[in-house]
Amino acid sequence: MQKKPKVIVTRRWPEPVEQRLLASFDAELNTADEPMPASALQSAMQAADALCPTVSDKITEQIIDVEGARAKIIGNYGVGFNHIDIDAAKDAGIVVTNTPEVLTDCTADLAMTLLLMAARRAGEGERHVRHDEWTGWRPTHMMGTKVTGKTLGLIGFGRIAGAMAHKAHFGFGMRILFHDPYPPAVEVANKFGAIQCDSVEDVLRRSDFVSLHCPGGNETYHLLNAERIGEMQPHAFLINTARGDVVDQVALEQALRKGHIAGAGLDVYEGEPAVPKGLRELENVVVLPHLGSATMETRVAMGMRVVDNLEAYFADRAPRDRIV
Ligand code: DGY
């Protein structure tokens, strides 16, 4: 009987996916769910045919090029791959795959959750009740911002932005603006009556809510810097479910403290899991712990997608989500 490929998984995955991994491969799971240090990731590259990291594992050139590397495929659990040195993988002839599509709706749902929470002061209201500070209904209590009918600006217009545009436009009657250097086909934007803007600045100036949907990485590092945040309207809100380093967090905190923008809803941070104290202190910021794809259905589907990719690779078929 042919030996099963050895697969090393860096964190716990949902139970049904772990069961499938164990059935299909000689799988080494991380039952303790402790993050693996760089040295352990290097050893995994040497010991396994496939390494399965996730978005919180930094897969550097030093890990990919470790002496005696045996792994030929990195099956990433997650759609974003800015934590993997893709050039190093390409140079080393290592295949990298990700998990697109299956997390589109849940991530867009969470972006919408943040938008609604920030606009309607839901986090603040919840703290108010839990701290036993609520003294009863009154006409001027905790007035927020109306969402229905407002303008939503999307920075990046890929799958997740499209799903958010759908929910915002058809569910909340919102007008949709967007900027993307690689815009979708006109028919796609037309489905939501989305208006293409020439620049990020144009979107920022014209939107009541700005939601980020661009990939992380060098090209988008601090895309939202002090100057660009300064282009937003004082009543506007910034929503980030993309990657933390797309936003200059120091500039964001200052803009929020000075009232240059009205609030923010954040799911991702530069240097996770650290969340700056300055942002956590602000009542007009909703902070969530990178929950975009965190539903049972989606997390299982993401894992199954990794297994599909690995099975295809080891059966000499093209993995459907191959990046390089
Ligand atoms: C991803 O997949 O890139 C998200 O950040 C986690 O689901």
Supply the range of the domain harboring residue 256. 104-287
Percent of the chain with pLDDT over 70: 100
Burial of 44 (0-12, 13-18, 19+ CB in 10 A): buried
Q: What is the pLDDT of residue 181?
A: 97
Judgement on whether residues 66 and 120 belong to the same structural domain of the protein: no
Judgement on whether residues 87 and 122 belong to the same structural domain of the protein: no
Task: Say if ligand 1 is within 6 A of residue 54 CB.
Answer: no
Q: What is the pLDDT of residues 134-166, one digit of tens each?
A: 999 999 999 999 999 999 999 999 999 999 999
> Annotated catalytic sites, by residue?
243, 272, 290
Measured from the Cα of 243, ligand 1's closest atom is: 5
Whether residue 75 contacts residue 51, with contact meaning beta carbons closer than 8 Å, is answered with: yes
* Position 2 confidence tier, pLDDT thresholds 50, 70, 90: confident
Judgement on whether residues 237 and 262 belong to the same structural domain of the protein: yes
CA torsion through residues 315, 316, 321, 322, sign: positive
Judgement on whether residues 98 and 111 belong to the same structural domain of the protein: no
319 found inside a domain: no
216 found inside a domain: yes
Q: Which runs of E-coded beta strand occur in 35-170?
A: 50-52, 73-75, 95-97, 151-155
Per DSSP, the three-state class of 194 is coil
Judgement on whether residues 257 and 151 belong to the same structural domain of the protein: yes
Whole-structure pTM value: 0.97
What is the rounded end-to-end Cα distance, in angstroms, of the chain?
A: 31
182 found inside a domain: yes
Distance (Å) from CA 88 to ligand 1 centroid: 21
* Whether residue 12 has pLDDT greater than 80: yes
Q: What is the pLDDT of residue 39?
A: 98
Give the chain's domain count: 2
Measured from the Cα of 80, ligand 1's closest atom is: 3
Q: What is the pLDDT of residue 74?
A: 99
Across the range 93-101, mean pLDDT stands at 98
* Position 29 confidence tier, pLDDT thresholds 50, 70, 90: very high
Candidate from 55, 84, 213 with most ligand 1 atoms within 8 A of CB, to mutate: 55
Across the range 121-130, mean pLDDT stands at 98
CATH number at residue 118: 3.40.50.720
* Whether residue 1 has pLDDT greater than 90: no
Q: What is the pLDDT of residues 196-244, one digit of tens each?
A: 999 999 999 999 999 999 999 999 999 999 999 999 999 999 999 999 9
Judgement on whether residues 225 and 269 belong to the same structural domain of the protein: yes
Judgement on whether residues 254 and 109 belong to the same structural domain of the protein: yes
Q: What is the pLDDT of residues 87-96, one digit of tens each?
A: 999 999 999 9
Judgement on whether residues 134 and 246 belong to the same structural domain of the protein: yes
Mean pLDDT, the chain, integer: 98
Task: Say if ligand 1 is within 6 A of residue 158 CB.
Answer: no
323 found inside a domain: no
* CA 48 and chain centroid, separation: 28
Residue nearest to atom 7 of ligand 1 (CA): 293
Judgement on whether residues 249 and 280 belong to the same structural domain of the protein: yes
Distance (Å) from CA 79 to ligand 1 centroid: 5
Q: Which runs of E-coded beta strand occur in 81-190?
A: 95-97, 151-155, 175-179
Task: Please tell me what DSSP assigns to residue 182.
Answer: S
268 found inside a domain: yes
135 found inside a domain: yes
Task: Say if ligand 1 is within 6 A of residue 252 CB.
Answer: no
Judgement on whether residues 87 and 40 belong to the same structural domain of the protein: yes
Across the range 168-173, mean pLDDT stands at 98
Judgement on whether residues 134 and 219 belong to the same structural domain of the protein: yes
Judgement on whether residues 152 and 192 belong to the same structural domain of the protein: yes
